[in-house]
Structure 1
Amino acid sequence: MGEAVRVLHVLGNTNLGGAESRIMDLYRHTDRNRVQFDFLVHSGEEGFYEKEIRELGGRIFRVPRFRIYNYFSYRKALKEFFQEHHEFALVQGHMTSTAAIYLPIAKKAGVKKTAAHARSAGVDKGLKGTMTRFLRRNLADKADYLFTCSELAGISVYGEKAVREGKTIFIPNAIDCAGFTFDPEKRKKMREELGLTDAIIIGHVGRFHYAKNHEYLLRVFAKLCRMSAGAGGSTAENGADQNYHLILLGEGPLMEDTRKLAEELGVADRVHFLGNHKNIADYYQAMDYFVYPSRYEGMPGTIVEAQASGLPCLMSDTICREVIATELVETMSIEKEPKVWAEVLQRRMDALVSKQENREKYAAKMAAAGFDVQAQAERMMRFYESGRWENE
């Protein structure tokens, strides 16, 4: 057997995020005798996944973070890196804000194929977002392959023309569906560990970032709690003061602001900031409902995971339709008042209390819908080995 082909994935960091988690799912299911992953990151700090990457045989390289004013030194660092390391069969750029810079440099240095991978359907607000759009303006012409996790992400990153002309390749965010299969015993154990055995648990998994819209989520949750308790703390009209709790998994720059808002809204005792966890599938087991009011997304792997776990989901209608693979998902506009979301949640969860039947079947449903990482790993290995997409 020959030596494994090496693929370089370019990221901002190796922390626990959506793109990073999907790449690691793929990495774990890749035959590393055939294909080996390496990582080029724009961070000097050790990320969440670095230890596992090294254990799997991957190498981690670092370049400076791009900050506009260091354009020339950034290009210089990339040129020096690819002059020394051009052994990759393919460079796959998940960090699309500067992919139009580093992918051509890699190609010129001798890398055979390059691919950009669009994973988000929006940009940060303000100057940063404006610069991201500017830097991406000709990315569609700077890569051999244009991967995207959804049509919205493709349009956002490559432009409508590239999508309309069929230049993009759709690759859904796949997961290990079987690993999210609902398990009643695991649910009981997790709820005991959380100290929420009798609670109705609303869940959210995501980085504390502008795109995720945690502020809106908290306002919805606060309305739901007030509706349950009734005006002035009296019993609600339905006669039940429901024991609602919100668990938030993830970390990020807006985490402390979100904590403060929970206190201001008077729900701090019902909102649980759990941070990052490797055993994320176990936390879905404990939840009763999944709420995701994002401002924008590429294709949230969290909605895929929630469906595989059999969780009903309420998500914003700004999120791509491709992620909706089961009847579990309902969409609403975040232009509506938080009270409207809260009213929908109350009606849905009143019908769900103590009912967890049939959650087990959804992992197989999601796999059948094309979201299973094992099938995707085989498809991607063939691509990495041949340098050609399967329908070329």
Structure 2
Amino acid sequence: MEDKNMENNSQMNNSQAGVCEPIRVLHVFGRVGLGGAESRIMDLYRNIDRDKIQFDFLVHYSAKKTGKMAPTSDELLAVREPDFYDEAIRELGGNIYVLPRFEGKNFFAYKKAISNFFSENRGKWQVVHGHMTSTAALYLPVARKKGGAAVTIAHSRNAGTEPGLKGIATKILRLPLKRLGTADHYFTCSEKAGRAVFGDKLFDQGYVRTIPNAIDVKKFAYDADIRNKIRAELGVSEDEIVIGHVGRFDYQKNHEYLIRIFDQVLKLAKEKMPDRKLLLIMLGQGSLMDTVKAQVNDLGIQDRVRFLGLKGNSSDYYRAMDYFLFPSFFEGLPGTVVEAQAAGLKCLISDTITTEVDITELVSRMDIRKDPSEWAGKILEDLAHLPDRQAETPRFEQELADAGFDAQTQAKAISYFYEHGSFKD
């Protein structure tokens, strides 16, 4: 590994010799919406020295509107709908490029589009950082060979796949990532995610580097004025209990189970705290939102559940919450749980999630095979002993920072890597 780092370091220094332009890093994503991985990179982007390092983004979009199998980036940009972070990326000095979305049947057209893209942009990026691991084994070798990238990175962000054919296809496409040479470096947000994508052998031999999903910790600090403002907008009284969840509406997040838990919470609360109202607020969008809304209506609890969609000021909504619920089937390392801890919220999460997210005493976990009533019982117990968030938040902030989850600290470490091809251990 040291020889590889020295080789990459030399290549990066040579590419920068006599040049005053910043090192450009290309981040590869499916899209730049308000997702966890995208938000973590944007937190880093805002905190790096952009005179030294600049980010560009390569995203994916359906080729159907172009009428071509392997359209160019410009052709896709012309038909692509703007995404959440587009404006912020351009304001910070970044560019957005587009590849056709991989759909299996367009395997060869996708490979052709990758080859054309990196050939046409050869030498533009010293580092190509791939967060989309499903096709990383296709685009990273080409980024180095055709694009001239000195360093390529495969970054595991998740510890599981969806059930069915899509999940099987993803596992097959990721197989080359389990051996050396597909990428120069292998990053992961947690041990579970690293082993799931890169395999036990590479992980145990020390080739996989864990990079905490760092957040802008102070952005989530408890603020009573903001809490009151958001709760007023929601029509929530001060003595009403707000349970919160943040996550896209898809299989992984296990919303069907979450709603059943909340339904049981409402039933138990009638017995144990009849004078208190409870409300569930959920931030996010996704393909299963309508299904979850139908479930809420079927249970007759629609007046106690709010679907708030995507919120660019999600930190303000954490402040309005009193408790955080997150029963996912699988995760890499959920940044939302880190954010909830920064906001001083007690969190109840599934025991399938890596323990690396248990940074403070605020996190409890339960088995998602248990009856929802058992989760509900635990929630009511916790609600009777909530922390003094005004007093305790500074301590939680410090614990997160000490564990490497502060974006300012992480930005310095990753910047050094981008400049030198190795970490300053």
Q: Specify the alignment match of 2:204 in structure 1.
A: 164
What amino acid does structure 1 have at the position aligned with 2:184? D
CA distance in 2, matches of 1:382, 1:164: 25
Alpha carbons 1:309, 1:359 under 8 Å: kept: no
Q: Specify the alignment match of 1:95 in structure 2.
A: 132
Q: Specify the alignment match of 2:402 in structure 1.
A: 368
Q: Specify the alignment match of 1:233 in structure 2.
A: none
Q: Specify the alignment match of 2:108 in structure 1.
A: 72
Q: Specify the alignment match of 2:420 in structure 1.
A: 386
Alpha carbons 1:308, 1:364 under 8 Å: kept: no
Q: Specify the alignment match of 2:391 in structure 1.
A: 358
Measured at CA, do residues 324 and 54 of structure 1 come closer, stay the same or move farther in structure 2, by a change above 3 Å?
same
- 2:83 pairs with one of 47, 72, 96: 47
Q: Specify the alignment match of 1:256 in structure 2.
A: 290
Alpha carbons 1:30, 1:377 under 8 Å: kept: yes
Structure 1, unpaired ranges of 5+: 230-235
Give the drift of 1:368: 2.1
Measured at CA, do residues 360 and 177 of structure 1 come closer, stay the same or move farther in structure 2, by a change above 3 Å?
same
What amino acid does structure 1 have at the position aligned with 2:229? K
Q: Specify the alignment match of 2:190 in structure 1.
A: 150
Give the drift of 1:355: 5.5
Give the drift of 1:390: 2.8
Query: Deviations along 1:158-191, whole A, 9 cap, x unmatched?
Result: 1111111111000000001011111122211221
CA distance in 2, matches of 1:387, 1:84: 24
What amino acid does structure 1 have at the position aligned with 2:134? S
Measured at CA, do residues 211 and 239 of structure 1 come closer, stay the same or move farther in structure 2, by a change above 3 Å?
closer
- 2:163 pairs with one of 108, 113, 125: 125
Give the drift of 1:347: 1.4
- 2:334 pairs with one of 276, 300, 316: 300
Give the drift of 1:46: 1.7
Q: Specify the alignment match of 2:73 in structure 1.
A: none
CA distance in 1, matches of 2:278, 2:109: 52
Q: Specify the alignment match of 1:32 in structure 2.
A: 50
Q: Specify the alignment match of 2:4 in structure 1.
A: none
CA distance in 2, matches of 1:221, 1:153: 29
Query: Deviations along 1:13-46, whole A, 9 cap, x unmatched?
Result: 0111011111111111111100000000012332
- 1:82 pairs with one of 113, 118, 127: 118
Q: Specify the alignment match of 2:227 in structure 1.
A: 187
Give the drift of 1:370: 1.3
- Residue aligned with 2:404, SS: helix
What amino acid does structure 1 have at the position aligned with 2:97? F
Deviates more, 1:241-250 or 1:328-337: 241-250
Alpha carbons 1:248, 1:274 under 8 Å: kept: yes
What amino acid does structure 1 have at the position aligned with 2:380? Q
- 1:62 pairs with one of 62, 87, 98: 98
Measured at CA, do residues 306 and 335 of structure 1 come closer, stay the same or move farther in structure 2, by a change above 3 Å?
same
Alpha carbons 1:203, 1:290 under 8 Å: kept: yes
- Residue aligned with 2:82, SS: coil
Q: Specify the alignment match of 1:232 in structure 2.
A: none
CA distance in 1, matches of 2:338, 2:89: 24
**4+ residue runs over 4 A deviation:** 354-357
CA distance in 2, matches of 1:104, 1:390: 26
Query: Deviations along 1:336-359, whole A, 9 cap, x unmatched?
Result: 01111001111111333x954534
Alpha carbons 2:158, 2:193 under 8 Å: kept: yes
- Residue aligned with 1:41, SS: strand
Query: Deviations along 1:24-83, whole A, 9 cap, x unmatched?
Result: 111111111000000000123321100111111111000100011100000000000000
Q: Specify the alignment match of 2:151 in structure 1.
A: 113
CA distance in 1, matches of 2:213, 2:357: 9
Measured at CA, do residues 239 and 52 of structure 1 come closer, stay the same or move farther in structure 2, by a change above 3 Å?
closer
CA distance in 2, matches of 1:193, 1:62: 38
- Residue aligned with 1:299, SS: coil
Number of equivalenced pairs? 383
CA distance in 2, matches of 1:323, 1:355: 21
Give the drift of 1:387: 1.9
TM-score w.r.t. the length of structure 1 is 0.95
CA distance in 1, matches of 2:207, 2:400: 27
Q: Specify the alignment match of 1:274 in structure 2.
A: 308
Give the drift of 1:241: 4.3
Deviates more, 1:144-153 or 1:259-268: 259-268
CA distance in 2, matches of 1:255, 1:67: 23
TM alignment of 1:328-339, pairs within 5 A: 328-339=362-373
Structure 2, unpaired ranges of 5+: 1-18, 62-79
